[in-house]
Structure 1
Amino acid sequence: MSDADLAKKREGTFVTGLPDFSSDPVTGFGFGARTNVYWNGQRTNPFFAYTPYLLKLKANAAYYTSNARELVLGLDAPYYNGTRWRFKLDFKAQQNPANLYFGLTEATLGELRLPSTPEGGPTYATYEAFDRARKTLRPSQPGEASALVTDALSNRFRETEFMLNLKADYALGAGRWRVMGGYEIQHLSYKTFEGEPAEALMPISGEATEAPNGTSLLRRDFEQDRVFGLEGGWISILQTALLYDTRDFEPDPTRGYYFEVANEFSNRIIGSQFNFNKLFVQGKAYQRLPLGPRTVLAGRLGAGTIFGNRAPFFEFQDQWSPDGSINALGGRQSLRGYRANRFLARSVAFANLELRARLFETTLGKQRFTFAVAPFVDAGTVRDRWQDLGLRDIRASYGAGLRLAWNQSTIISFDYGLSREDKLLYFGLGQAF
């Protein structure tokens, strides 16, 4: 850490706990509790200046207006007991009925199209126009339950997940390089919303009403063998990674680099119901600039792909990273001007750039708070083959954020992202990268 930040780092054990008020355009407004217990040790500890903490225990619980709910428990011990080992243990139980699905190929890079509309039908340049058209009553198609139906829920599905993950990494040489191995077991189940009552609009008057939901896009793609995995089940995964990390302070760096090559292997021979392999590469860079009290230019590049002819659709939705998995492409972690999972295909590439400028800091009692602004630009694309990744059909968004740092380790973020399709506000704990 820099001398200035090191002088402000707290010794001993302390708790940061706060009500969890968050907002996401997909899951809605959330409330709950997020608590962290930190063991920082004393300044005499030789690791005090090199670790964000000696041990962290987190316990998070949240409920969202979309009826999503989540419980997360985690334990993180860098340089465990003064050794080169770092151990992480995570448990998650969550149910989210507001997941979005727009397709699973690079065709999602096109403009929005109603789930019931065939190729060549009308498209919508903005999400607002698309959402209104989706809710407008339409005549039913074969197999649908009513003469008139709505597509209000036809891009949505519900996911229920139970997950346990154990990871360990070992520092090589001076500690900049690390090798990591882990094991994760999950049970996943899914539901789509055919025939369920949903919002609707009358075709001519636009009057609000209610009608049965039509066939979901995910269900239709599954029945036509375009996607796999809607039946859910057990997923057993072996995780490996090679890491290079010179960041001075992991939660909020002012300088340094982070690079990783991460892989997930799932196969029936280790007890999984699905066979696939996921490879993800990313790099992050942080450089302090001679502007103001603390201004940092932060950037990230990432690319990933999935191997396996019958890889389940849900594995397309995120890229696994030991530094924190990334929902791609779209949403708070990758492309902040677009909805989560707006663009999905077998391969993904994206970039983020932020200018994090501290405005001021203050101390209340024994608690230290700093405030910063962070204008940003995000860009990315998806492809059906990793060999086709490039600069064609790039989707971009931009915006600005506010950052509140509590005792340096807990970062509260507010981000407002804009794109040609949408305008979205997010707030919650942690930074995008």
Structure 2
Amino acid sequence: MTKSIATLVIICYSVHAYAWQAPAADTVPVKAPKGLYNRALHYLQHTNDVKKKKKLDYSIIGGPVYTPETSAGIAAMIAAQYSTDRKDSLLPVSNIAVFASASLTGFYGLGLNSTTLFPHDRFRLSVKASFSSRPNKYWGIGYEAGNNKDGYTEYVLLTEKLQADVSRYLGRGMFAGISLQVQNGRAAKIDSMAGKPLMQPEHVFGMGIGPFFVYDTRDFIPNPWRGMYFRFGYRYFPEFFGNRQGFSKLELQFDQYHQLWNGAILATDLYAEEHSDNVPWNMMAEAGGSNRLRGYYEGRFRDRNYIAVQAELRQHIIGRSGAVAWIGAGNVFPAFRAILISQSLISYGIGYRWEFKKRVNIRLDYGRGRDQQGFYFGINEVF
């Protein structure tokens, strides 16, 4: 949903903003100038000011967008920061982002991402929710199916998703909790006359729950400069939850952040998914998209299992501007014994960062794969 690009509005305004940027002030408000253009420019200049007296510090931004999956369109986003205990200066801020977008191809969607840290960081609640209607392409299951670049079926995918993770602090950066995932997907307007692979069944409901463990020493969740993040989780999707067939999912993520020199962060990410045999087609692991293997069409390569690694260099440039460069690789496969190095998918690219709020970045990325490329626009770092 936030996998979109090219905010001409953001770029044009921010270029001017850097030339006129004054240091952020916590206590002295700056009066907005007259005129629509000047007011918009003034607003963008001060979105990252620290507003200590506000219970909810929010900002709004929007503009034209483009993605390889949805084509040209328009998007709007509200990003906010808040604290559940403003007297505790050591408690990291909580954050929430609400976004909406629509495109010329008929795509439209709404979404919400939030992380709430309760007083003394004893409990954490993370919520991701979205609804979308998206013209899509289905290549089938497995590497060989996706490797046939033109062998896809066009259809429209209607999806509602919800993931809620609640965890309790165990001490020394460790958390344990329960994760709930609900996903309802339906394929419509299927081009069944093309003789290409078809998705079956057309309607899939999935609901699962299970435990997870986290070790987290990141200094700031939306944009870490140092620390480590490790998450291992298991979800079971039983038939009595409404699933057509029972299946399970294992998920692992391991991220590290190191400061190389002034303003430079090296971020590394290892991610893996493993599903049991009965996982339906639209809940399989999918390579590509805005977070991993950027440049590949999301869902072109899908299978029961997926592993991906990436390394990203993040460099502050000047004012509120920054840049990134990354390289990554990944595989989709039916079983671990079937992994082939020759089937690895390589991704690399560059990106631009603009500090929308204090240490919360708007990102604009250009990624390339073996035979595909794409632009992506979103909020917060990809990992």
Same fold (TM over 0.5): yes
The CA distance in 1 between the partners of 2:376 and 2:163, in whole Å, is: 27
User: For 1:300, which of 269, 276, 289 is the aligned residue?
Assistant: 269
Instruction: Provide the residue aligned with 1:27 in structure 2.
Output: 70
Query: Partner of 1:237: helix, strand, or coil?
Result: strand
Is this contact kept in 1: 2:185–2:282, CA < 8 A? no
User: For 1:406, which of 356, 366, 378 is the aligned residue?
Assistant: 356
The CA distance in 1 between the partners of 2:331 and 2:204, in whole Å, is: 30
CA RMSD of aligned residues (A): 2.5
Instruction: Provide the residue aligned with 1:172 in structure 2.
Output: 170
Q: Cα distance 1:335–1:315, how it changes in 2: closer, same or farther (>3 A)?
A: same
1:356 deviates by 0.6
Is this contact kept in 2: 1:20–1:62, CA < 8 A? no
1:422 deviates by 2.4
Is this contact kept in 1: 2:153–2:190, CA < 8 A? no
Matched, 1:190 2:187: yes
Instruction: Provide the residue aligned with 1:156 in structure 2.
Output: 154
User: How many residues are aligned here?
Assistant: 334
1:231 deviates by 2.7
User: For 1:352, which of 295, 307, 310 is the aligned residue?
Assistant: 310
Is this contact kept in 2: 1:20–1:34, CA < 8 A? no
Instruction: Provide the residue aligned with 2:194 in structure 1.
Output: 215
Matched, 1:255 2:213: no
The CA distance in 1 between the partners of 2:170 and 2:249, in whole Å, is: 25
Whichever residue aligns with residue 305 of structure 1, its letter is E
Larger mean CA deviation between 38-47 and 352-361 belongs to: 38-47
Matched, 1:87 2:125: yes
**TM-score with structure 2 length normalisation?**
0.79
Deviations 1:76-103 (A, max 9, x none): 321x244511123444222112x23222
The CA distance in 1 between the partners of 2:65 and 2:362, in whole Å, is: 10
Matched, 1:236 2:274: no
1:251 deviates by 1.0
The CA distance in 1 between the partners of 2:189 and 2:296, in whole Å, is: 22
Q: Cα distance 1:28–1:22, how it changes in 2: closer, same or farther (>3 A)?
A: same
Whichever residue aligns with residue 106 of structure 2, its letter is N
Instruction: Provide the residue aligned with 2:8 in structure 1.
Output: none
1:43 deviates by 6.9
Matched, 1:265 2:244: no
Whichever residue aligns with residue 358 of structure 2, its letter is Q
Instruction: Provide the residue aligned with 2:101 in structure 1.
Output: 62
The CA distance in 2 between the partners of 1:239 and 1:65, in whole Å, is: 39
Deviations 1:154-197 (A, max 9, x none): 532221123344321111113x11112132333321124337xx
Is this contact kept in 2: 1:192–1:216, CA < 8 A? no
Q: Cα distance 1:282–1:73, how it changes in 2: closer, same or farther (>3 A)?
A: closer
Instruction: Provide the residue aligned with 1:288 in structure 2.
Output: 259
1:289 deviates by 1.0
Instruction: Provide the residue aligned with 2:287 in structure 1.
Output: 329
Q: Cα distance 1:303–1:392, how it changes in 2: closer, same or farther (>3 A)?
A: farther
1:256 deviates by 0.9
Q: Which runs of 5+ in 1 are unaligned?
A: 1-6, 116-153, 196-213, 223-227, 319-327, 362-369
Q: Cα distance 1:59–1:375, how it changes in 2: closer, same or farther (>3 A)?
A: closer
Q: Cα distance 1:383–1:73, how it changes in 2: closer, same or farther (>3 A)?
A: closer
Query: Partner of 2:219: helix, strand, or coil?
Result: coil
Matched, 1:100 2:71: no
Matched, 1:383 2:333: yes
Q: Cα distance 1:20–1:72, how it changes in 2: closer, same or farther (>3 A)?
A: farther
Q: Cα distance 1:60–1:194, how it changes in 2: closer, same or farther (>3 A)?
A: same
Is this contact kept in 2: 1:72–1:93, CA < 8 A? yes
**TM-score with structure 1 length normalisation?**
0.71
The CA distance in 2 between the partners of 1:249 and 1:351, in whole Å, is: 22
Larger mean CA deviation between 81-90 and 65-74 belongs to: 81-90
Whichever residue aligns with residue 303 of structure 1, its letter is A
Same amino acid, percent of matched pairs: 22
The CA distance in 2 between the partners of 1:280 and 1:75, in whole Å, is: 20
User: For 1:76, which of 96, 102, 115 is the aligned residue?
Assistant: 115
Query: Partner of 1:259: helix, strand, or coil?
Result: strand
Q: Cα distance 1:382–1:376, how it changes in 2: closer, same or farther (>3 A)?
A: same
The CA distance in 1 between the partners of 2:146 and 2:112, in whole Å, is: 36
1:9 deviates by 5.7
Is this contact kept in 1: 2:327–2:349, CA < 8 A? yes
The CA distance in 1 between the partners of 2:50 and 2:227, in whole Å, is: 19
Whichever residue aligns with residue 318 of structure 2, its letter is F
Instruction: Provide the residue aligned with 2:29 in structure 1.
Output: none
Q: Cα distance 1:194–1:338, how it changes in 2: closer, same or farther (>3 A)?
A: closer
Q: Which runs of 5+ in 2 are unaligned?
A: 1-25, 27-48
Query: Partner of 1:217: helix, strand, or coil?
Result: coil
Instruction: Provide the residue aligned with 2:57 in structure 1.
Output: 14
